[in-house]
Amino acid sequence: MTGSSILRTTPNCRGVWAMREDSTSSVRIARPTDREQLRSRVRWRSPLRGPWLTSVFGLALLVGIPIEFATGLLSYAAYNPRFLVNDPNPHHGILGSYLFDWATNPVWLYRLIEGVHVALGLALVPILLAKLWSVIPKLFAWPPVRSAAHLLERLSLVLLVGGAVFEFSTGILNIDYLNGAYGFSFYTGHFYGAWLFMAGFTIHVVLKFGRMVRALRSRSFRTELRTGISDTLPEPIDDELVAPEPAKATMSRRGVLAVVGGASLTVLGLTAGDTTGGVLRRLALFSTRGESAPGVGPNHFPVNHTAASAGILAEDVGPAWRLELAGTRRVSLSRQALLAMPLTTAKLPIACTEGWSTVQTWTGVPLIDLAALAGVPKPGRVALTTIGSGGKTVLSGAQVRDRHSMLALRVNGADLSLDHGYPARVIVPAAPGTHNRKWIRQMTFVAEA
Ligand SMILES: Nc1nc2c(c(=O)[nH]1)N[C@H]1C(S)=C(S)[C@@H](COP(=O)(O)O)O[C@H]1N2
Ligand SMILES: [Mo]
């Protein structure tokens, strides 16, 4: 069938020529060598596909993806991987050369970057899918390889598209720890995957930036927003995306932008509350740990890993429990003894890597006072050991010294519940949630080098 806007196509020795409704002259739509290529995409009929629409989606991703990359790298730095027990990727080599010691203020630092990383990542999904849809004829382009340069470009697309699919799917699965399904750690896969994805992304941007700018200039965004279905015509035929035999429009470009933009904003609206709290939290329908989710625990805020799941037994946390401090001397403290020390109270967030966060008012013993008790008044780091399952975590000297860092005994005026870490848990400002270890058994302070 012939498309609505092309009256006829004329192949001759100089290529394929098309006469269009909206033009008085014919345009060359393909060089002679491209004829086969043109035939290979005849089955892609949407009149909306074209460089302008692809470039609109591309521009959104060009802004969003680097923010994802930057917040992701920062999130890794926030683990303080300089301490090997904290580092899920000890062989990062040069890829870790940017790493630095994580700050303790502003206290919402990790909450912000991780909240942005997860919420924006989810909001980009509809745009990513739309972008992939808009370029799908290229996947089936024929001949698949036209030159050495074209081969390299296609290889970069493997990194780009494969990387995008991998990064988005591992990220989404990790929100609810559904990533046990594959045989590698989320942190390792998502980290190395990000670098490969960004390699493909960078090559793609270098190759396509000029074309994107030209395509964006080729049509007015405002005019598109005013154009209804009946006036929606294909973009001028090109050698990659525009349908050679377009079907009649069943949707305007503004309709597509509304659907994709609306889907993106809807996802954002339904997830941002997991980080922002407040009214939006009630909208956080996909929440796995938010206050509207089944995970809401004692003390009325989300529990991530319950005491039962960590294998905490009643006798471990009964009157016999002692906090063991090690440094230049060993000290053993009961919960009563800890409560008798000077206590500090601060409003601090738990901001989980999985994207949710919650701000509560914690009361406990400043970590620096415990360091002094252990005979290490100038700590360079502290290793935390917990009851039950879960590996060691090391906090930096700066984290121990921050006046808000504490071994919390109470929250919002009540004793910690067992699920929130009773008898005592660590709370560190601006750190990833996982550094706020629950059910602490031992703290080993090491003096500054
Ligand atoms: N001992 C221990 N501490 C832990 C965890 C754990 O599994 N075991 N989970 C951590 C993670 S990943 C987060 S986000 C916070 C969640 O604290 P909450 O359950 O009190 O909300 O606890 C952290 N402390
Ligand atoms: Mo977490």
CATH value at residue 353: 3.90.420.10
Task: Specify the pTM.
Answer: 0.91
**22 or 311: whose pLDDT is higher?**
311
Residue 436 in contact with ligand 1 by CB distance below 6 A: yes
pLDDT digits (tens, 9 = 90+) for 179-238: 766 788 999 999 999 999 999 999 999 999 999 999 999 999 999 999 999 999 999 988
Is 288 inside any structural domain? no
Q: Which amino acid is at 337?
A: A
Question: What domain range is 384 assigned to?
Answer: 314-447
At residue 143, the pLDDT reads 82
The alpha carbon of 439 and the centre of ligand 1 are apart by a number of angstroms equal to 9
User: Residue of the nearest CA to atom 21 in ligand 1?
Assistant: 303
pLDDT digits (tens, 9 = 90+) for 386-443: 998 877 899 999 999 999 999 999 999 999 999 999 999 999 999 999 999 999 999 9
Is 175 inside any structural domain? yes
Residue 420 in contact with ligand 1 by CB distance below 6 A: yes
Q: Which ligand is nearest to the CA of 389?
A: 1
Please check whether residues 114 and 214 belong to one and the same domain.
yes
The alpha carbon of 436 and the centre of ligand 1 are apart by a number of angstroms equal to 6
Please check whether residues 229 and 339 belong to one and the same domain.
no
The alpha carbon of 352 and the centre of ligand 2 are apart by a number of angstroms equal to 4
Please check whether residues 80 and 208 belong to one and the same domain.
yes
The alpha carbon of 310 and the centre of ligand 1 are apart by a number of angstroms equal to 10
pLDDT digits (tens, 9 = 90+) for 315-344: 999 999 999 999 999 999 999 999 999 999
Residue 427 in contact with ligand 1 by CB distance below 6 A: no
At residue 28, the pLDDT reads 63
Tokens representing 439 are 């059910």
Alpha helices by DSSP H, listed for 355-424, are 367-373, 397-401
Using CA atoms, how far residue 346 sits from 208, 274, 368, 408, in Å, is: 50, 21, 15, 10
Torsion of CA 60, 64, 66, 70, to 10 degrees: 170
- Give the helix/strand (H/E) hosting 223: helix 221-225
Please check whether residues 158 and 82 belong to one and the same domain.
yes
Residue 304 in contact with ligand 1 by CB distance below 6 A: yes
Closest C-alpha to 363, from 299, 275, 442: 299
Task: Tell me how many domains the chain contains.
Answer: 2
